[in-house]
Structure 1
Amino acid sequence: MSPRLEDENPDRLYMVTGGRSDVTDDGLDLVTLIVSECEPTPGMQSEHVRILRFCTSPAAVVEIAAELRMPVSVVRILLCDLLDTSRVSARNPRPAPAETTLPDPELLKQVLVGLEKL
């Protein structure tokens, strides 16, 4: 049995998210990069402050969850709060171009043979 993270207390997570348990399609996946767009302000929720301070350089959603020691689902809710107020920006990884093709297998065989002869 793995040890519980300090912030896995269900009551605590309920309070952090304001009772919300899910977000609509936010476009955030585990590798979406988050960047702070401003400094924390007085009176902000402590988790939001921690996210803003951590994301002065781009950080993936999964990295933020690990830093906060909270489930990704909870972190996504917090990030949506910050996105809605433009305090952070999100950048999704670019998909590989559709025109990208794999090298010809015959060419790869020729390269392998050439390397073996060296």
Structure 2
Amino acid sequence: MTPPQRRRRMPQEPPPEPAPAAPAEGAEGEPAVPNPERLYSLTGTAAGSERASIDLVTLIVAAEDPPPTLTPEQVSLLRLCTAPLSVAEISAYLSLPFSVVTILLTELMAADLVQARAPIVRQIVPDRSLLEAVMHGLQKL
């Protein structure tokens, strides 16, 4: 049996240069990934202050309606948080990085406009009677 021979490719024209990609548009006509200058302008005032100890699963609830002195991002954050939302959800809805959302929330907490709640922790040890009921139900199958 002879090994297959390789075929030479015919010289082809080089592929055309791809056109520069237009930035992906978000729901409100803004780029999906904000540029660093915009992020700095959102958080530039909080450069020297301490951040609140906020985790990704910390629940945030708005305490009051947004006053007219807030930035548009803070107003949209407050409108989102009429029901408890985790910081990860807020970050996803606003299309902002977690660090930027943390700084915005720190400013809102200092003004008492939002409240941070620890996530709901389930009972560590399940109830023995529940486990027995599940075990008996599985044995009957």
- Which TM-score band applies after superposition, normalised by the shorter structure? 0.7 to 0.9
- Whether 2:98 is the aligned partner of 1:75: answer no
* Larger relative contact order (CA 8 Å, sep ≥ 6): 1
| 89-98 or 55-64, larger mean C-alpha shift | 89-98
Partner of 2:77: 51
In our comparison, the structure showing a higher alpha carbon Rg is 2
- Whether 2:52 is the aligned partner of 1:26: answer yes
Structure 1's 20 and 43: CA in aligned 2 closer, same or farther, altered over 3 A? closer
Identity across matched positions, percent: 42
Structure 1's 51 and 117: CA in aligned 2 closer, same or farther, altered over 3 A? closer
- Cα deviation per residue 1:17-56 (whole Å; 9 max; x = unaligned)? 0165697462211111111111111131111100111101
What is the distance in 2 between the residues matched to 1:82 and 1:49? 10
Which amino acid in 2 is paired with 1:77?
Answer: I
- Whether 2:112 is the aligned partner of 1:86: answer yes
RMSD: 3.0
- 8 A contact 1:31–1:60 mirrored in 2: yes
Which amino acid in 1 is paired with 2:118?
Answer: N
Where does structure 1 lack aligned partners over 5 or more consecutive residues? none
- Cα deviation per residue 1:42-92 (whole Å; 9 max; x = unaligned)? 131111100111101111101111111000110000000000110000101
- 8 A contact 1:31–1:61 mirrored in 2: yes
80, 86, 90: which one aligns with 1:60: 86
Structure whose residues are more often helix by fraction: 1
Partner of 1:115: 138
Query: Across the two proteins, how many residue pairs are aligned to each other?
Result: 110
Partner of 2:66: 40
**Deviation at residue 7 of structure 1 after TM alignment:** 4.7
